[in-house]
A and B are shown apart, each in its own frame.
Chain A
């Protein structure tokens, strides 16, 4: 489709661009104290974007001369990203550490990042892939260093930049090898060319796969490209940590699913619900091993943390590992598995981070000891936090269980080849119980009970807790509507 006609399908992104401009302009008219009001413009614009997405006809097609896909798959991820961005923006309003700074740019940068994430979920051209990843990365660097008078935040931003530049450089190299092999930047043309390649180019193909994996691995913080995660997560404003642990990760998974299934797989020919890798590139095994390493390392290091925010950072590495388990399976259920996991993870993980933010503001610390006796002091925080921790462990009847259930189902459905991966996965979820329940232990089991009761600081805090806690619980035993939505959303654009 040519550029002009494409604009008709590009409504949500256009609306988002208008929102970005409005937010930047509106910021000029607010004083420092009032600058947080930019959030209303951003949220309003994002709400309109949401409606635009919902109203769209989602017949799969490609836009802008085959660089951007327009399909139910990307629509699903866009909605997911909008929801998480909106929740994080609301969380930022309550967060104490951001109060000292001008908030206007913060919200406009988040909106720009949303735009980049939208493109990430829908790009089907390696140039667009690179471009969208860079938009997101650069905005994340800004946001990670937003606490400019805090040295940890500065360190986080710098580390993020260095790691980001390095890994995207390697990825670019991989992409260029791939371009050299295939002579095209479009996913589908590349796929056709790869399937015709002889065995002598296998080495180059494997090399480029590994290099590209570095870029993706960095984005979803997979081991061994995870070293930036804990420091960046610890130093960034907690709201941004929460955001980084969900939105770019979701987009990264969307991109990975699309890239590997469409460039290195053969989705279009096979009409069944599962397909296979082409040309003997062992990428499914490679990702399987990476995923096992990711969850194991994430969990084992998370156990040793004494800071809850850092623990959540490492545990988010482990969760990336669980989700990666599904990618090598190359079936509809594997895509569904990742989608289901992301929805569930969105609520429980943002919930956990929000509690950490709130506890830091009220009690003054992020380590486990700050949670002592919270069950009596702030039951309205401790009960949702217990739920989030149980959900993150993956125990029924909470949302986390459903996510894990879908992932494990996808792994086991694909046959005995990857059963070992399922074992690694379940053993890891037992390990994760230890450090998640440690939070619960500090809230309820440790410390003398006293009747000191701290009232919630605002209605927004309570309503956010409720908004995050209800799905974390209800989706654990009633997920039919979501299951239906997801099964309709696995459809990707399949080329001309």
Chain B
């Protein structure tokens, strides 16, 4: 199939166009169109997965078209083992998200149009290989997100929406400076593949105001991506946005949008500024540690279930940073320990995917109880297990997956990260295992307070989780369980790309010692 990637990206916009012509009172038809567009998109990504050559670590299904020749801007798309899982995750969660938002009744047309636009933006970021295009997609996401939180969110929605918007924009304008600096120093090109080749050489030894250009660009890009992840101390927008957003948007936000930051670092910082990786790896590991501990402590203190889940995202994304930092294990000065680099970075990518499925489940489950009880106060429930046994079972699965119990996918990726990072960041890893303990504590404690103990009379006849909700949770639960006992398919998919990535970072290990 020609232009497969373009179809995946632009299909939602086509759906948006169709929705525009439907009168606003036919809300069911609008929902059906949105669902079928997302469904087709999901099928296309599954097809993409099936024809993807996992043994090839380079970019595949490349598309290239002239766009703005006077600025050397090209429309370039491509997919590799790093972006494919993310594309699949987006398609899956985008599809599920439509059904999660099935009960939306206010301004249905606007909601689903914006939802589809958001989908296009995210897909575009994962598949774009031209830096200009990447930036456009990166920013296209902001406006739909602003409206989706601001119009359909909770009581503090306006504040949450503008805070999200300002934070992310602040990050991305810094990224714009970095993009332009790369463009002019590397021979006027936005082509990421060319930049990967040229940037390490062109920037070598360049000084700006006495600072190494590599460090400056690294930091600019890092802040842009870190706000999205979010890395401490840029995380303050996240709990607010998550809590105020409607369920489906929290699901997308936690499930996919947070991954954009880590994806950006791996795709751009790691390949274009490999020297910077060595300079920054220590800081990255420590920031990861802070995220793990800080996120867990905050989660422990929450009374609002959704806030707890939001902080668990901060906690979980911390592990990814730690895993990413492990890439330096493969350099010569660290004993060329390729296996631990593979485990670390592979674990980070796997953790991104797992957090995507697990946090999506968690937010859907929070949405289910909120729709019935109209509050999310953990203390306000009690003994729900007897009233809602099926719901309790799903929460148990999601919580146990979230706390990294063996048998669930989260355990595999976290174990990989610890194994990978241990040889290089021994102390950090040892302290961050504390995070796992806290992690278990906040999930189990919340579980105990909500589902066990004396039953709350108020919820004696609270309706059980319904079939639609079960169907949105089931695929995610199944993926979590399967990858928990048999992660091979996923790890095989990313293996070749991982090796290419690590190799390209390590190749410049020698130069790194010079700047340090």
Chain A interface residues toward B at CB < 8 A = 390, 395-397, 401, 405, 408-409, 412-413, 416, 419, 422-423, 426-427, 429-430, 433-434, 437, 441, 444-446, 449, 477-480, 483-484, 487
Structural contact, A397 and B68, CB atoms closer than 8 A:
no
Task: Determine if B173 and A484 form an interchain contact, defined as CB atoms under 8 angstroms apart.
Answer: no
Identify which of B164-172, B246-254, B273-281 touches chain A.
B164-172
Contacts of B486 in A (CB 8 A): none
Query: Complex Cα distance A413/B139, Å?
Result: 23
**A430 in contact with B180 (CB, 8 Å):** no
User: A395 vs B176: C-alpha distance in the bound complex, in angstroms?
Assistant: 11
Structural contact, B170 and A430, CB atoms closer than 8 A: yes
Give chain A residues whose Cβ lies under 8 Å from the Cβ of B174. 426
Q: Is the CB of A483 within 8 A of B70?
A: yes
Q: B3-11, B140-148, B349-357, B417-425: which one contacts chain A?
A: B140-148
Q: In the complex, what distance in Å separates the CA atom of A401 from the CA atom of B146?
A: 18
Which residues of the other chain, A, contact B176 by a CB distance below 8 angstroms?
Answer: 405, 408, 426
Q: Is the CB of A434 within 8 A of B173?
A: no
Name B193-221 residues within 8 Å CB distance of A.
208-209
A-B contact sample (13 more), CB < 8 A, given A409-B184, A441-B150, A478-B68: A395-B143, A408-B180, A412-B180, A416-B208, A416-B209, A422-B177, A426-B176, A427-B170, A429-B173, A434-B162, A444-B151, A445-B157, A446-B158
Known: A449-B106, A480-B69. A423 touches B139 (CB 8 A): no
Q: How far is it, in angstroms, between the C-alpha of A175 and the C-alpha of B135 when the chains are bound?
A: 45
Q: Which of A430, A437, A441, A480 contacts B68 (CB 8 A)?
A: A480
A483 with B177: CB separation less than 8 A: no
Closest to A394 in B: B173
Q: Which residue of A lies closest to B211 (CB)?
A: A416
Chain B: which residue is nearest A412 at the CB level?
Answer: B180
* A445: nearest chain-B partner, CB-CB: B150
7 tightest CB-CB pairs across the interface, nearest first?
A426-B173, A483-B70, A416-B208, A412-B180, A396-B136, A396-B139, A430-B170
Provide the bound-state CA to CA distance between A123 and B143, in Å. Answer: 44
Interface SS of chain A: helix, strand, loop or mixed?
helix
B177 engages A412 (CB within 8 Å): yes
How far is it, in angstroms, between the C-alpha of A412 and the C-alpha of B146 when the chains are bound?
Answer: 30
Contact indicator A444/B166 (Cβ below 8 Å)? no
A437 touching B162, Cβ below 8 Å: yes
Q: Which residues of B contact A401 (CB under 8 A)?
A: 136, 139
CB atoms of A396 and B135 under 8 A apart: yes
Q: By the criterion CB–CB under 8 Å, are A395 and B142 in contact?
A: yes
Is B173 within 8 A of A430, CB to CB?
Answer: yes
13 contacts between A and B (CB under 8 A): A395-B139, A396-B136, A397-B140, A412-B184, A419-B209, A423-B177, A433-B166, A434-B166, A437-B162, A445-B150, A478-B68, A479-B68, A480-B69
Encoded as 1 (CB less than 8 Å from any A CB) or 0, chain B from 103 to 129 comes to 000110000000000000000000000
Shortest Cβ distance from A438 into B: residue? B162
B47 interface residue, CB < 8 Å from A? no
Establish whether residues A480 and B70, one from each chain, have CB atoms under 8 Å apart when the complex forms. Answer: yes
**A441-B158 contact given A409-B180, A434-B166, CB 8 Å threshold:** yes
Residues of B within 8 A of A434 (CB): 162, 166
- Interchain CB contact (< 8 A) of A413 among B140, B177, B184: B184
Which of A405, A419, A445, A446 is the one whose CB lies under 8 Å from B208? A419
Q: Which of A408, A429, A437, A446 contacts B146 (CB 8 A)?
A: A437
Interface residues of B (CB under 8 A from A): 67-71, 106-107, 135-136, 139-140, 142-143, 146-147, 150-151, 157-158, 161-162, 165-166, 169-170, 173-174, 176-177, 180-181, 183-184, 208-209
Task: Give the residues in chain B near A422, CB-CB below 8 Å.
Answer: 177, 180
Contact B158 A445 (CB under 8 A): yes
Bound CA–CA A118/B208 (angstroms): 42
Of chain A, the residue at the smallest CB distance from B182 is A412
- Highest count of chain B CB atoms <10 Å: which of A401, A416, A478: A416
Q: Are B71 and A433 in contact (CB under 8 A)?
A: no
Determine the chain B residues whose CB is within 8 A of the CB of A437 once the complex forms.
146, 162, 165
A483-B136 in contact given A409-B180, A426-B177, A433-B169 (Cβ < 8 Å): no
Please, how many angstroms separate the alpha-carbon atoms of A441 and B157 in the complex?
Answer: 11
Instruction: Determine how close the nearest CB of chain B comes to the CB of A337; give it in whole angstroms.
Output: 12
Query: Could you tell me the distance between the alpha carbons of A427 and B68 in the complex, rounded to whole angstroms?
Result: 27
**Which residue on B lies nearest to A416, using beta carbons?**
B208
Contacting pair B143 A390 (CB below 8 A): yes
* Closest partner residue, chain A, to B107 (CB atom): A449
A445 to B159, CA, bound (A): 11
Contacts A395-B142, A416-B208, A444-B151 given; does A483 touch B71 at CB 8 Å? yes
Contact A445 B68 (CB under 8 A): no
A436 to B10, CA, bound (A): 28
**Hey, which chain A residues are within 8 Å of B67, CB to CB?**
480
| Complex CA distance for A429 and B165, rounded to whole angstroms | 12
Q: List the B side residues contacting A433 at CB < 8 Å.
A: 165-166, 169
Can you name the residue of chain A whose Cβ is closest to the Cβ of B69? A480
**Neighbouring A residues of B71 by C-beta, 8 Å:** 409, 483
Residues in A whose Cβ lies below 8 Å from that of B165: 433, 437
- Contact (Cβ within 8 A) A427 B139: no
**Whole-angstrom CA separation of A449 from B151 in the bound complex:** 11
Which B residues are CB-close (under 8 A) to A413? 180, 184
Complex: A401 Cα to B137 Cα, angstroms: 13
CB B164 to nearest CB in A, in angstroms, measures 11
Chain B residues near A446: list those with CB within 8 A: 158
Q: Please give me the residue from chain A that is nearest to B138 by CB atom.
A: A396
- Shortest Cβ distance from A124 into chain B, in angstroms? 28
The CB with the most chain B CB atoms within 10 A, among A395, A419, A423, is that of A395
Cβ of B209: which chain A residues have Cβ within 8 Å of it? 416, 419
Min Cβ gap B205→A in Å is 14
CB distance from B106 to the nearest CB of A (A): 7
Q: How far is the CB of A67 from chain B (nearest CB, A)?
A: 34
Residues of A within 8 A of B181 (CB): 412
Question: What residue in chain B is nearest A395 (Cβ atoms)?
Answer: B139
Chain B residues with CB below 8 A from A390, complex form: 143
Residue of A nearest to B178 (CB): A412
**Nearest CB in chain A: distance from B102 CB, A:** 20
> Which of A412, A413, A423 is most buried by chain B, counting CB atoms within 10 A of its CB?
A412
Whether the Cβ atoms of B135 and A427 lie closer than 8 Å is: no
A408 and B166 form a contact (CB under 8 A): no
In the assembly, what is the distance between CA of A321 and CA of B173, in Å?
A: 17
Do A484 and B180 have beta carbons less than 8 Å apart? no
Nearest chain B CB to A233 CB, angstrom units: 26
Which residues from chain A contact B158 at a C-beta distance below 8 Å? 441, 445-446
A257 to chain B, nearest CB (A): 20
> Please, which residue of chain A has its CB at the minimum distance from the CB of B216?
A419
A396-B136, A433-B166, A480-B70 known; A427 vs B173 contact (CB < 8 Å): yes
Most chain A CB neighbours (cut-off 10 Å) among B67, B162, B169: B169
Rounded to whole Å, the gap between the CB of B222 and the closest CB of chain A is 16
Q: How far is the CB of A441 from chain B (nearest CB, A)?
A: 6
Closest to B106 in A: A449
Q: How far is the CA of A414 from the CA of B242 in the complex (A)?
A: 42
Which of B71, B106, B183, B209 has the most chain A CB atoms inside 10 A of its CB?
Answer: B71
Q: List residues of chain B with CB within 8 A of the CB of A430.
A: 166, 169-170, 173
A388 CB, nearest partner CB in chain B, Å: 13
Q: Which residues of A contact B157 (CB under 8 A)?
A: 445
Partner of B150, one of A395, A429, A444: A444
Q: Are A396 and B140 in contact (CB under 8 A)?
A: yes
Instruction: Tell me the bound Cα distance from A115 to B181 in angstroms.
Output: 41
**Cα-based distance from A416 to B213 in the complex (angstroms):** 10
Distance of A396 Cα from B137 Cα, bound (Å): 8
B214 to chain A, nearest CB (A): 14
- Minimum Cβ distance to chain A for residue B27 (Å): 14
Q: In the complex, which residues of chain B have a beta carbon less than 8 angstroms from the beta carbon of A429? A: 169, 173
B170 cross-chain contacts in A, Cβ below 8 A: 427, 430
Query: Within the assembled complex, what's the spacing in Å between the Cα atoms of A465 and B177?
Result: 33
Q: Is the CB of A441 within 8 A of B69?
A: no
For residue B59, give the distance in angstroms from its CB to the closest CB of chain A: 23
Chain A residues positioned under 8 Å from B177 (CB to CB): 408, 412, 419, 422-423, 426
C-alpha gap A363/B180 in the complex (Å): 44
